[in-house]
């Protein structure tokens, strides 16, 4: 009898542990899709539109290569052609480039560094100065609107669209200005569209 109780207790503990793991997995997945919850790693990842300098050193012909990540998330480097850069950090991209050069026997030893020179968000529609805005780690939706000169008289401030990774989210910027918790952090490459009000 004690053995049966022990087995039942072990089975229940294992079930609770499994259910707990599933629940925590679901919450982190939903947080990752909501731009109101900004993961620190997301802003560290390279994105289409980022301008980079790729430095090749410790070789006979060292060079600095200015590149920009295209809409497909690719960069082009001498002898290598195109490589995927979007979604990686600068350190990960450095390792990818180094490994590619060595694997293709262009170099036996190589030092690679990647630095980000420019990152932007884009804003259009009913703002005073539509266009691109330099990105910084503390840039929010409301700050981006202010950097674009503020709304025009015809702006629909309560339904501003933020597009990220081909997904669109609507925000009330008037509410975001009053409640910082409702003001999402922006990531490089984000696009903001301010619609025209019907009135």
Looking at domain 120-194, its CATH class is: alpha beta
Look at residue 23 in the predicted model and tell me its pLDDT.
Answer: 37
Listed in order, strand segments (DSSP E) in the chain are: 51-57, 63-68, 74-77, 81-84, 111-118, 120-125, 131-134, 160-164, 167-171, 191-194
More confident residue, 5 or 128: 128
Q: What confidence score (pLDDT) does residue 48 get?
A: 85
> How far is it between the farthest Cα atoms of the chain?
79
53 pLDDT above the threshold of 70? yes
CB 91 within 8 A of CB 116: no
Contact partners, residue 159, CB within 8 Å, separation at least 6: 170, 171, 172, 195
Token digits for 24?
């925590």
Predicted confidence at residue 198, as pLDDT, reads 79
What's the pLDDT score for residue 164?
Answer: 87
What's the pLDDT band for 16 if we cut at 50, 70, 90?
very low
Q: Global pTM? A: 0.63
| CATH class, range 50-118 | alpha beta
132 sits in which H/E element = strand 131-134
Task: Report residue 94's pLDDT band, with 50, 70 and 90 as the boundaries.
Answer: very high
- Residue scoring higher pLDDT (170 or 28): 170
pLDDT above 90 as % of the chain: 57
Look at residue 13 in the predicted model and tell me its pLDDT: 43
Cβ atoms < 10 Å from Cβ of 104: 10
**Average of per-residue pLDDT values in the chain:** 81
Segment (H or E) for 5: helix 2-33
Q: What pLDDT does 137 receive?
A: 84
Whether the pLDDT of residue 20 is over 60: the answer is: no
In this prediction, residues 77-93 reach a mean pLDDT of 93
pLDDT in tens, 133-183: 999 889 999 999 999 999 999 999 999 999 988 889 999 999 999 998 889
């Amino acid at each position: 009898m004690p053995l049966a109780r022990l087995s039942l207790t072990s089975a229940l503990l294992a079930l609770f542990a499994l259910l707990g793991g599933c629940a925590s997995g679901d919450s982190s997945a939903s947080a990752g899709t909501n731009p109101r919850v900004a993961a620190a790693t997301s802003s560290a990842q390279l994105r289409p539109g980022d301008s980079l300098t790729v430095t090749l050193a410790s070789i006979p012909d060292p060079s600095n290569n200015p590149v920009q990540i295209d809409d497909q998330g690719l960069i082009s480097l001498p002898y290598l052609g195109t490589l995927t850069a979007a979604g990686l950090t600068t350190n990960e991209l450095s390792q990818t480039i180094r490994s590619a050069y060595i694997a293709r026997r262009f170099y036996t030893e190589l030092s690679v560094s990647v630095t980000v020179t420019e990152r932007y968000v884009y804003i259009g529609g009913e703002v005073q100065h539509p266009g691109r805005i330099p990105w910084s780690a503390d840039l929010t939706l409301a700050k981006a609107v202010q950097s674009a000169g503020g709304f025009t008289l015809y702006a629909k401030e309560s339904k501003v669209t933020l597009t990220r990774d081909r997904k669109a989210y609507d925000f009330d910027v008037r509410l975001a200005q009053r409640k910082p918790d409702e003001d999402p952090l922006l990531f490089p490459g984000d696009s903001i569209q301010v619609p025209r009000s019907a009135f």
